[in-house]
Amino acid sequence: MIAVVLVGGEGTRLRPLTLDEPKPVLPIGGVPFVSLLLDRLAAAGVTKVILSCGYLPDRLRAAVVSAPAGIEVEVVVEDEPLGTAGAIRFAAVGRVDGPFLALNGDVLGDADFGALVAAHHAAGAVASIGLTPVDDPTRFGVVVHDAQGNVERFVEKPPNADGLGPAPWWVNAGAYVLDPSVLDLIPADRMVSIEREIFPELVGRGLICVHSDGYWRDIGTLESFLTANADAVAGRVHTRLGGADAAILVDGSARVDADAVLIAPVLIAAGAVVGAGARVGPDTVIGEGATVGPNATVQGSVLLAGAQVAADAHVERSAIGRNALVGERAHVLDSALGTDQAASAGEHLTGERRPA
């Protein structure tokens, strides 16, 4: 089984974190997101993964050097944006000769890709769409289908649930199985959306959908990135971290002062330092080599590798970029610092994005 993963976006909603790091390389629980995705693909029996990208490909290549055993990873680079269908065609033509997985590369989840593949084969489908349930259909494209799973129509961000039946409503989860014949429907000379152009063309021609109740979260905004980290540490999504609601995960090489307070769920990565009187957690990840100074508070936040929070500072619901600094007595709330950036001593940031 081959999987094509779309990782070409610039992650603009996550800036400044993505100014020098592609979104799939940002850490979830201290692990590059793309590594967690490769874990899932390996568990589903995938043997080759093609990453279709166009943004900072060298950073992506470096992140997948240690792929799971038995998986070959190839990175292909788009010269220009091709849209979701165009990117799939670009990566798959000449590389696949049978049904293959195609995935959006910015969704943290634990749905069984193998079950989606099995349903595709059992139905003799041309294309299969994995669905996830939502309680509010107005923010998504709803997939309407019959009792056998045959897709009947798509309703894009409806103003209300009229005519859509009872909750929950089922939306595209960004995971597909496609027959190679689908590639012939995708023009090669322009941007093409698989959701808006190709799938509607396949209604009534072998397009099915498969329900999954597993965890699902798009990590494309600061809020969702922070929530994904918290959920991974708390074990709300199944990952190699093996987290739990009461998890206090401290790497053996980290140094946590005896007078520091860790509030679960929390993860302290390799080489991190937490000073005396500091309070860290809940829902917090302190990245590799990061530092939390004496009497500082960090909660609901993610510190990337090498980030520093100085003494008496307060960080809440924020992301602090690689080697960035939160100065003494500074307050950072609902904000993000880019790589090497700083909040000065005593400065107060609320809802700000400080670029690298």
> Closest by alpha carbon to 233, among 271, 267, 274, 273?
267
Residue 62: the pLDDT is: 86
pTM for the model: 0.92
Q: Do 84 and 173 share a structural domain?
A: yes
Q: Is 211 helix (H, G, I), strand (E, B) or coil?
A: strand
Of the chain, the percentage scoring pLDDT greater than 70 comes to: 98
With respect to residue 97, please indicate whether it lies within any of the assigned structural domains: yes
**How confident is the model over 270-284, as pLDDT tens digits?**
999 999 999 999 999
Range of the domain at 286: 244-354
Q: Do 103 and 67 share a structural domain?
A: yes
Confidence label for 194 from pLDDT (cuts 50, 70 and 90): very high
Q: Do 270 and 152 share a structural domain?
A: no
Q: Do 274 and 196 share a structural domain?
A: no
**How confident is the model over 133-182, as pLDDT tens digits?**
988 877 777 898 888 999 998 887 777 667 777 678 889 899 999 999 99
Alpha-helical runs (H) found in the chain = 33-43, 57-63, 83-92, 113-123, 199-202, 222-234
Of the chain, the percentage scoring pLDDT greater than 90 comes to: 73
Q: What is the mean pLDDT of the chain?
A: 92
With respect to residue 225, please indicate whether it lies within any of the assigned structural domains: no
Q: Do 256 and 213 share a structural domain?
A: no
Q: Do 182 and 115 share a structural domain?
A: yes
Number of domains in the chain: 2
With respect to residue 237, please indicate whether it lies within any of the assigned structural domains: no
With respect to residue 306, please indicate whether it lies within any of the assigned structural domains: yes
Q: From CA 117, how far away is CA 79, in angstroms rounded?
A: 30
Q: Do 214 and 142 share a structural domain?
A: yes
**How confident is the model over 220-260, as pLDDT tens digits?**
899 999 999 999 999 999 999 888 889 999 999 999 999 99
With respect to residue 233, please indicate whether it lies within any of the assigned structural domains: no
Alpha-helical runs (H) found in 18-146 = 33-43, 57-63, 83-92, 113-123
Q: Do 325 and 213 share a structural domain?
A: no
With respect to residue 230, please indicate whether it lies within any of the assigned structural domains: no
With respect to residue 89, please indicate whether it lies within any of the assigned structural domains: yes
Q: Token digits for 153?
A: 């129509």
DSSP, res 150? B
| 6, β-bridge pairs | 52, 104
Q: From CA 126, how far away is CA 227, in angstroms rounded?
A: 35
Residue 19: the pLDDT is: 93
Q: Do 285 and 193 share a structural domain?
A: no
- The answer to whether the Cα torsion of 223, 25, 105, 60 is positive or negative is positive
Q: Residue 144: what residue type?
A: V
Interior/surface letters 225-241, b for 16+ CB within 10 angstroms, e for the rest: bbbbbbbbbbbbbbbeb
Q: Do 80 and 116 share a structural domain?
A: yes
